[in-house]
């Protein structure tokens, strides 16, 4: 049985090994202290919420998707989580404090606080192209004034912006027009963009759609620095069978699907976008990331960084510390010292790979069995000790009662 001293030494050694793994990456020219950071949306509406992200192991802070003016969003209930934690739905309607709030020096200062080395990034999702252009100009003016430090901007192409038209990312003619107008702005018309621009993409399911979307982004690679894939899977519906009604109030119950269930679609999108996009455009993996394994798989498919959304929503900012630690353990076990050691290096299927996987799973089961046995042995040892002490106490009390000894 392992002694408490031996266990303590093992834990210290593990911590030491984990600290030797470096999760820092550079995304779109922006240094991130960790490749794991938050997705825009959950717990990002205010500086009081975002400052908790800044204090965590998250590599940076991405603010709530902003509109030109503040808005409250859809009526409640607008979110729902399956009891098993595998599925979430949301139809929030972009509740936010408006772009002026998210680029205000006070908001940024309150958010970043004691974490000035981490980047602060802004997300925008205007109701139309005019709104997006207006917000980009506002951000550019704020940066040029020198009053704020905004490291990058994420333009949401994954939400419907024009009534009667599809989501921008699904309407390739509209997407081309949006990118053309964005590229014409003064902040992007010089030899170098004023700030890195990322685009949030919807999930794709057909290879020609991947190709068309990537072709447009590649055409504007001089302004597009990264693509974040994926946004929620649209038009999901969950029913409360007791009440015989949708669980979401807004939009007839139709909502965006997120959580662990979407990870496999997200992995496919990351893999295909990485294959099709120009090397100058980074890919950010997002969708269903709940563990260090999930993050590892995203990076293996080619993601430079990984965003966490629904898990952050459910667990709070502590999820960033946990996921980072889990990823470090995986990397250390595989002999990887940094993210570039395995990024985009997903291997082809082989029989040897299947055999290796089976072996590792068996080793894991044996390790768990051994651990259970050790815990059971320790429990039995403790039980035996307690019983021996009780017998000793009873013997002493009896001896005193019979005047054999005097207490």
Which residues are tagged catalytic? 159
Beta strands 197-201 and 152-156, pairing class: parallel
Task: Give exposure, 41-61, as e/b (b: 16+ Cβ within 10 Å).
Answer: bbbbbbbebbbbbbbbbbbbb
CB atoms within 10 A of CB 391: 10
Closest CA to 46 of 82, 96, 5, 106: 96
Angle of CA points 70, 71, 72, to nearest 5°: 135
Determine contact, residues 168/212, Cβ cutoff 8 Å: no
DSSP 288: S
Q: How far apart are CA 9 and CA 298, in angstroms?
A: 33
Closest CA to 79 of 401, 367, 309, 374: 309
Which helix (H) or strand (E) covers residue 25, if one does? Answer: strand 25-27
Q: How far apart are CA 269 and CA 308, in angstroms?
A: 16
Using H for helix, E for strand and C for coil, what is the string for 351-389?
A: HHHHHHHHHHHHHHHHHHHHHHHHHHHHHHHHHHHHHHH
């Amino acid at each position: 049985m392992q002694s408490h001293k031996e266990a303590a030494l093992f834990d210290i050694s593990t911590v030491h090994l984990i600290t030797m793994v470096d999760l820092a990456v550079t995304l779109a020219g922006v240094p991130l202290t960790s490749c794991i950071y938050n997705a825009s949306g959950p717990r990002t509406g205010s500086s009081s919420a975002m400052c908790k992200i800044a204090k965590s192991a998250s590599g940076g802070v991405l603010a709530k998707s902003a509109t030109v003016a503040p808005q409250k969003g859809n009526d409640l209930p607008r979110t729902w989580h399956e009891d098993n934690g595998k599925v979430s739905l949301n139809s929030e309607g972009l509740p936010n404090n408006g772009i002026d709030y998210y680029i205000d020096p006070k908001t940024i200062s309150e958010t970043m606080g004691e974490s000035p080395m981490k980047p602060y990034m802004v997300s925008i999702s205007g109701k139309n192209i005019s709104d997006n252009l207006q917000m980009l100009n506002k951000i550019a003016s704020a940066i040029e004034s020198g009053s704020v430090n905004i490291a990058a901007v994420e333009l949401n192409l994954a939400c419907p912006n024009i009534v009667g038209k599809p989501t921008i990312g699904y309407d390739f003619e509209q997407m081309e027009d949006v990118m053309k107008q964005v590229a014409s702005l003064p902040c992007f018309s010089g030899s170098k963009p004023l700030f890195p621009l990322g685009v949030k993409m919807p999930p794709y399911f057909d290879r020609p759609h991947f190709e068309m979307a990537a072709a447009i982004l590649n055409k504007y690679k001089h302004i597009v620095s990264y693509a974040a894939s994926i946004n929620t899977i649209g038009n999901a519906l969950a029913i409360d069978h007791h009440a015989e009604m949708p669980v979401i109030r807004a939009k007839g119950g139709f909502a965006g699907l997120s959580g662990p269930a979407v990870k496999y679609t997200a992995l496919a999108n990351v893999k295909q976008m990485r294959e099709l996009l120009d090397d100058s455009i980074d890919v950010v993996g997002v969708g269903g990331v709940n563990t260090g394994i999930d993050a590892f798989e995203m990076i293996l498919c080619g993601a430079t960084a990984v965003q966490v959304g629904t898990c952050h929503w459910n667990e709070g900012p502590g999820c960033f510390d946990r996921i980072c630690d889990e990823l470090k353990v995986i990397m250390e076990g595989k002999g990887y010292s940094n993210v570039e050691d395995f990024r985009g290096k997903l291997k082809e299927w082989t029989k040897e790979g299947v055999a290796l996987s089976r072996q590792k799973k068996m080793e894991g089961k044996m390790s768990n069995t051994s651990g259970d046995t050790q815990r059971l042995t320790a429990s039995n040892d403790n039980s035996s000790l307690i019983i021996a002490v009780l017998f000793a106490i009873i013997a002493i009390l009896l001896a005193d009662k019979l005047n054999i000894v005097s207490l």
